Chains A and B, each alone.
Chain A
Amino acid sequence: MADVNVGDEVRELRVTPDKYLPHRYAGASGDFNPIHIDDEFAKAVGLPRNILHGLYSMGLVAKANAVALAGGDPRALKKLSVQFRGMGVPEAEIVVTGKVESVDGNRVVVNTEATQNDTKLIKNAKAELDLES
């Protein structure tokens, strides 16, 4: 059985995406929506600047939970559901936190979120991991 208990805080992940991270993520993911990579375009459509991809922030949530609870084993994460809220921007620190909500044998559910300054990028997220392997 996993050595994890209900109420445990998951080790947090802190990441500051640099100015060019949205470009690298666009290349890696194939999502070249200009609101992420073109500051002028983003401002023209009313955004404060070019914004992070929501699925990048979700990727950080996946990574944080897999690293903290399963040593980064890519088999561990079984399910992740998120709601996207505030917009993330480059060059500011993102903090991913989590709290264990339930433990059933090797199956662990974590309530997790990603925050940047006072903005919640991802809230009410649930990560379900299998810590068997």
Chain B
Amino acid sequence: MALKTDAVGKEWGGTTYQVGREKIKEYANALGIENPVHFDVGAAREAGFRDVVAPPMFCVVYALPAMAPAILDPEVGMNFATMVHGGQEFEWGEVVCSGDEITTTPKCISIEEKMGNGFYVFESTSVNQDGAQVLRGVWTNIVRGV
């Protein structure tokens, strides 16, 4: 069966996330990250940040929800029963601090069949309230047996 590739090039609307101190703390605690710049506003400012700063991989907190409209789109048509997260790439720009508003926009960049599996690749772009790019993500989902 030929893989449906109509969604390649499709973009979805942006999702905005408001970054807060307690959420950064919760994320840092889950990962066992100990640098006080993630917990204490005084330590963060002393180190030159505007406010409590997010660890790089905090990006999942603001970017993951923004991917849902793309992942769930029937036009993409992924079979979730056999889907696995195959690969992930993140490229960071401006740091993210508490108080930032991050808007993430997803795009489908390729749908290909390789050795009987479907490779669905999405790109996300995240910018802060000043329009500065904070993150570019490339999300690869593999659907086994298409």
Interchain CA distance A33-B35 in the complex, whole Å: 29
**Chain B binder among A3-11, A52-60, A99-107, A111-119:** A52-60
B35 adjacent to A72 (CB under 8 Å): yes
Note all chain A residues with C-beta closer than 8 A to B27.
28-29
Output the nearest chain A residue to B84 by Cβ-Cβ distance. Answer: A84
Chain B proximity of A43: nearest CB distance (Å): 16
| Interchain CB contact under 8 A, A62 and B56 | yes
CB-defined interface of B34-68 with A at 8 Å, one 1/0 digit per residue?
11011000000000000001111100110011000
Contacts of A42 in B (CB 8 A): none
Q: Complex Cα distance A28/B24, Å?
A: 8
- B31, B89, B92, B138: the one contacting A63 at CB < 8 Å is B31
**What are the residues of chain A within 8 A of B23 when measuring CB–CB?**
28
Contact A79-B53, Cβ < 8 Å, known A28-B61, A72-B34: no
How many chain A residues touch the partner (CB < 8 A)? Answer: 30
Assess the A63–B95 pair: CB atoms within 8 A: no
Decide: B56 and A82 in contact? CB cutoff 8 A: no
Contact with B along A7-23 (1 / 0, CB 8 A): 00000000100000100
- The residue on A at minimum CB distance from B65 is A30
Q: Which residues of B contact A82 (CB under 8 A)?
A: 87-89
Chain B hits for A62, CB < 8 A = 55-57
Closest to A81 in B: B89
In-complex Cβ contact of B64 among A31, A60, A75 (8 A): A31
Contacts of A28 in B (CB 8 A): 23, 26-27, 29-31, 61
A-B contact pairs, 18 of them (CB 8 A): A27-B26, A27-B30, A28-B23, A28-B61, A29-B30, A29-B60, A30-B61, A30-B65, A58-B57, A59-B57, A62-B56, A62-B57, A63-B33, A77-B56, A79-B89, A81-B138, A84-B87, A84-B88
Q: Please list the residues of chain B having a beta carbon within 8 angstroms of any beta carbon in chain A.
A: 23, 26-27, 29-35, 37-38, 53-57, 60-61, 64-65, 84-92, 95, 138
Question: CB within 8 Å of B: which residues of A?
Answer: 15, 21, 24-25, 27-31, 54-56, 58-60, 62-63, 66, 72-75, 77-84
